[in-house]
Amino acid sequence: MRIIDLHCYPGTQVWIDSQGPYVEALAKYWNRGWVGKTEEAVVQEFTEAGVEACLVALDLETTVATPPCTNDYVHDMWKRHPKRIIQCWGTLDPFKGELAIREAQHAVRDLGFIGFHFHPIMQHFAVNDQRFYPLFETINELKAAVMIDVGTTGMGAGMPGGMGARIRHAHPSAIDDLAADFPNMNIIMAHPGWPWVDEATAVALHKGNVFWEMSGWAPKYFPGNLKVDMRARLQDKIMFGSDYPSLPYARILKEWSELGYSDAVMEKIFHQNAERVLGL
């Protein structure tokens, strides 16, 4: 069965460095070292797992003052390994204004990206903040998709004040507003969305342009109602993502198989929904 992994970070030292002070917090959250890998080692892990990866760039420069893991960086990695890396989600810092708009145009027109990933908690904004709608208007004009984190994050978790991040920025209601205001934009919610799983389910069911990938969680810990809905009323909405390198593929894929879904449902989750919605 084909497996499209919609949510893979590069895993290299460049990506590690782009997270700045949050590296230490993430290491504590995941209870393991957060160490950069070589590009070859990353691609080998994709190969051994049998996944086709979509890389995610990261720009937290405004919030943590570290150099971004840029769109050009993930693009170059894609082009060096096109059989295993099949697309990229670009990164945009909404606080960079006109520069972000130009970068959106570059990422789609020059680099051929499928769309853009936003990390509202770490980027310190909510996607329904109309101050940033000129950026989303540009993305909409480019016919690009967006992937937006929902729910809490390990970035800054357990640290004093969450290191300045506000988890409310990633509430599903912001997705609801964005989807209503940009009905022709395909929006992918990233992660199960805890503690607002029911709210995220409602948004996915109500908005025809909203979909949902389940990265960043071990499947056995998916909330019970979500496990039921994914094989039923959400089966045409759910897509696979890992949040690589957060969890090992062996564990993720084993636990997906243990959910007991039919092959028909797993075909949708692992590749058909992404193929249909995102043209992969």
| pLDDT for position 32 | 67
Kindly state the average pLDDT of the residues 86-111: 98
258 phi and psi angles, rounded to 5 deg: -80, -10
| pLDDT for position 20 | 81
Q: How confident is the model at residue 156 (pLDDT cuts 50, 70, 90)?
A: low
Q: What is the CATH number of the domain that holds 57?
A: 3.20.20.140
| pLDDT for position 170 | 97
Selection from 277, 167, 267 nearest residue 212 by Cα: 277
Contacts of 233 (CB under 8 A, 6+ apart): 205
Selection from 109, 106, 119, 102 nearest residue 57 by Cα: 119
How far CA 100 is from CA of 92, 143, 227, 234, in Å, comes to: 6, 16, 37, 33
Residue 22 has pLDDT above 90, yes or no: no
At 129, list the tokens.
């903040």
How far CA 87 is from CA of 57, 72, 95, 169, in Å, comes to: 11, 13, 25, 27
Segment 31-46, tens digit of pLDDT = 767 789 999 999 999 9
Residue 162 has pLDDT above 90, yes or no: no
Kindly state the average pLDDT of the residues 133-138: 98
- Residues of the domain holding 154: 3-278
d(CA 109, CA 105): 6
At 69, list the tokens.
């893991």
d(CA 205, CA 197): 12
Residue 259 one-letter amino acid: L
Is residue 126 within 8 Å of 172, Cβ to Cβ? no
d(CA 142, CA 124): 24
Is residue 7 within 8 Å of 215, Cβ to Cβ? yes
At 137, list the tokens.
């208007």
Is residue 174 within 8 Å of 167, Cβ to Cβ? no
Q: How confident is the model at residue 19 (pLDDT cuts 50, 70, 90)?
A: confident
Percent of the chain whose pLDDT exceeds 70? 96
**Before 183, cis peptide (omega within 30)?**
no
Q: How confident is the model at residue 66 (pLDDT cuts 50, 70, 90)?
A: very high
Residue 30 has pLDDT above 80, yes or no: no
How far CA 67 is from CA of 11, 14, 154, in Å, comes to: 15, 9, 20
| pLDDT for position 153 | 78
Residue 237 has pLDDT above 70, yes or no: yes
Segment 169-203, tens digit of pLDDT = 999 999 999 999 999 999 999 999 999 999 999 99
Mean of the per-residue pLDDT values for the chain? Answer: 95
| Beta strand 115-118 pairing with 85-91 | parallel
Sign, CA torsion 182/89/17/23: positive
Residue 262 has pLDDT above 80, yes or no: yes
SS3 content of the chain, % helix, strand, coil (to 5): 50, 15, 35
Percent of the chain whose pLDDT exceeds 90? 88
Segment 103-130, tens digit of pLDDT = 999 999 999 999 999 999 999 999 999 9
Total structural domains within the chain? 1
Q: How confident is the model at residue 245 (pLDDT cuts 50, 70, 90)?
A: very high
Kindly state the average pLDDT of the residues 8-12: 97
